[in-house]
Homo-oligomer: A and B are copies of this chain.
Amino acid sequence: MTTVLYPGSFDPVHNGHVEIVETASQLFDHVIVAAMRNPQKSAGVLTLEEREQVLTETFEHLDNVSITMFSSLVVDLAQEMEADFIVKGLRAVSDFESELQMAQMNKAISGVHTIFLPSASEKSFLASRLINEIARYGGNVSSMVPPPALRVLREKFST
């Protein structure tokens, strides 16, 4: 049985993330989606509780997907969860280099491998930061995020 870990900020989860989870859910036996609480970064748009709630609703139709929160090194979580490897999405060249660097440092400190799933190109332009900026100004992001994330953004920015 293959268990994979898919870590991220998910602030909020968008349709590019959803696609990666659906693909991983199809290719592997168990997918753990893990939202990271980063004490170094500023608070974020959604609280960690909101992210967990949104992720849970978004993936409740997929039996082999579970949700967790964490505030440790991702490789420590991978070992604790007995994940076989880490899964990341790859959209663009700018993603690629920092992801490769992180994958190699993670391998060096723990032996845990990272594999990459390419984004379907029609999702490759999505980015949580830009989605939040559009939502803040009242723009319509309903084609970019799953319904539970849209509901939270609307509450947040009263749009």
Residues on A facing B (Cβ under 8 Å): 2, 23, 26-28, 40, 72-73, 75-76, 84-85, 90, 92-94, 96-98, 100-105, 107-110, 113-118, 120-127, 130-131, 133-134, 136-141, 143-144
Contact = CB atoms under 8 A, between A and B. Distances in A.
B125 A101 contact: yes
A101 B130 contact: yes
A75 B137 CA distance: 11
Given A73-B139, A115-B115, A137-B76, A107 B120 contact: yes
B100 A118 contact: yes
22 contacts: A2-B2, A2-B27, A40-B136, A72-B137, A90-B100, A90-B116, A92-B101, A93-B93, A94-B97, A96-B96, A101-B130, A102-B130, A103-B118, A105-B127, A105-B130, A105-B131, A108-B143, A108-B144, A110-B139, A115-B116, A116-B117, A122-B122
For the complex of A and B, the 6 pairs showing the least CB-CB separation, nearest first, are A122-B122, A104-B125, A116-B116, A73-B137, A101-B125, A121-B121
A103 B97 CA distance: 18
Contacts of A97: 92-94
B133 A40 contact: yes
Given A40-B133, A101-B130, A113 B72 contact: no
Contacts of A90: 96, 100, 116
A113 B72 CA distance: 31
